[in-house]
């Protein structure tokens, strides 16, 4: 009876809808705090990315989930169960490393079977599960090759298969595509998305690549200096950043520090440090103050250019082209305003590019820029 009760309690506790939970987690190395009070709730079946620059604590956070590091404070739970006393090999997770960490003296199928052999599974079960894993990553015809005979993308697939063969609840991906060239990385992004959809497992990926996180993830946690600055969907992270760091790190943006001169529920009047007067949309997240200092974020693709004064626009400023860069699908302009501010503008490609030093006006609508509290 007590065993049944324990099992039932475990099921109830695990039925939170979260596969991974971090509760006020800290990690200190040699007196330096590299993870600071991190709270994360990762949904079952979610593709969740932890994004940030080098040294922000994202890889340490992943290692805390995997069990390769122990929290200095706080708690890590997987499927509702505390993991403090659970070693890495007993956790229902598997990690795919950027370096792949394949055994060069073992064939592809032997690499994939390695974990199952350690667990002393039967020969028949190992053969069946290895075959299934090879089929998932479309590597059946490479089963008898060695890692040194494979391309980078093929090695990546083997590393994925080795993680999936153990049927983990959570797959941890540590910069999984970082070693691949651009074209192959794009292909593997599509494959990762398809694989996640087919398996329905929880994927937790660490990356510094903003585009990769935006294109693959259901939700993203943006980290900076050991803290999580924002957790949200890719579209809200991009369109409604909560902090100047998130706005600047996710994609390209133009930032103007300034001060609120007046407010209305649907609009703010801001004057920047160099004297530009702007009408700005408050954040939909409800975190924009009605007075005090803010930073204005304007995405380059939201800015329009004109050779004549756009008198019917609320935010328009005179300047000149400093640099014009043709990038195929679009043109990248660097514009210097009369105020001395410089900003980047992205526009669809045109046949006749303007010369540097050409006088120009830039303009954007009030709801194409955002006031972010500092």
- The parts of the chain modelled with pLDDT lower than 70 are 1-15, 100, 179, 285-289
Same domain? 138 vs 180: yes
**The domain spanning residue 85 has which CATH number?**
3.40.50.300
pLDDT in tens, 49-71: 999 999 999 999 999 999 999 99
Residue at 54 is within a domain = yes
The pTM assigned to this predicted structure is 0.85
Same domain? 123 vs 184: yes
pLDDT value for 3: 29
Same domain? 185 vs 232: yes
d(CA 223, CA 239): 17
Same domain? 52 vs 178: yes
Residue at 8 is within a domain = no
Residue at 246 is within a domain = no
Same domain? 219 vs 304: no
Q: Among the three residues 202, 217, 239, which one is the final residue of a domain in this structure?
A: 239
Q: Among the three residues 239, 271, 306, which one is the final residue of a domain in this structure?
A: 239
Residue at 5 is within a domain = no
Same domain? 47 vs 148: yes
Same domain? 65 vs 191: yes
Same domain? 284 vs 187: no
Same domain? 342 vs 199: no
The backbone torsions φ and ψ at residue 223, rounded to the nearest 5 degrees and listed phi first, read: -110, 145
pLDDT value for 116: 86
In the chain, how many domains are there?
Answer: 2
Q: Among the three residues 239, 263, 286, which one is the final residue of a domain in this structure?
A: 239
Domain that holds residue 291: 252-373
Same domain? 105 vs 187: yes
Calculate ∠ Cα 255-250-169, nearest 5°.
155
Residue at 244 is within a domain = no
Six-digit token pair at 201?
A: 């497992």
Pairing mode, strands 73-78 and 227-232 = unpaired
Residue at 4 is within a domain = no
Same domain? 207 vs 314: no
Same domain? 28 vs 163: yes
């Amino acid at each position: 009876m007590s065993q049944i009760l324990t099992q039932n309690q475990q099921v109830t506790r695990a039925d939170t809808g979260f596969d991974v939970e971090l509760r006020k987690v800290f990690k200190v190395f040699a007196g330096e705090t590299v993870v600071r009070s991190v709270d994360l709730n990762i949904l079952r079946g979610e593709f969740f990315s932890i994004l940030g620059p080098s040294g922000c604590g994202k890889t340490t956070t992943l290692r805390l989930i995997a069990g390769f590091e122990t929290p200095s404070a706080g708690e890590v739970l997987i499927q509702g169960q505390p993991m403090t006393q659970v070693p890495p090999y007993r956790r229902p997770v598997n990690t795919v490393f950027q370096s792949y960490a394949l055994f060069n003296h073992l064939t592809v199928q032997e690499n994939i079977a390695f974990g199952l052999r350690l667990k002393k599974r039967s020969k028949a079960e190992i053969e069946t599960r290895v075959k299934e894993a090879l089929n998932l990553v479309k590597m059946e015809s490479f089963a008898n090759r060695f890692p040194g005979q494979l391309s980078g993308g093929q090695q990546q697939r083997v590393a994925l298969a080795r993680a999936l063969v153990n049927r983990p609840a959570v797959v941890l991906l540590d910069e999984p595509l970082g070693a691949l060239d651009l074209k192959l990385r794009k292909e593997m992004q599509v494959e990762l998305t398809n694989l996640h959809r087919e398996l329905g497992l929880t994927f937790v990926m660490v990356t510094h690549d903003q585009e990769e996180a935006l294109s693959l993830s259901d939700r993203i946690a943006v980290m900076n200096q050991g803290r999580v600055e924002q957790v949200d969907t890719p579209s809200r992270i991009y369109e409604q950043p909560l902090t100047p760091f998130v706005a600047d790190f996710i994609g390209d943006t133009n930032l103007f520090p300034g001060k609120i001169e007046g407010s209305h529920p649907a609009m703010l009047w801001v004057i920047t440090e160099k004297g530009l007067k702007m009408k700005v949309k408050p954040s939909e997240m409800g975190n924009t103050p009605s007075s005090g200092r803010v930073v204005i974020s304007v995405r380059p693709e939201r800015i329009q250019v004109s050779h004549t004064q756009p008198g019917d626009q609320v935010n328009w400023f005179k300047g000149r082209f400093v640099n014009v860069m043709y990038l195929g699908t679009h043109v990248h302009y660097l514009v210097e305003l009369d105020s001395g501010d410089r900003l980047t503008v992205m526009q669809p490609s045109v046949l006749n590019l303007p010369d540097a030093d050409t006088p120009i006006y830039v303009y954007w609508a009030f709801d194409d820029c955002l006031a972010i509290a500092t």
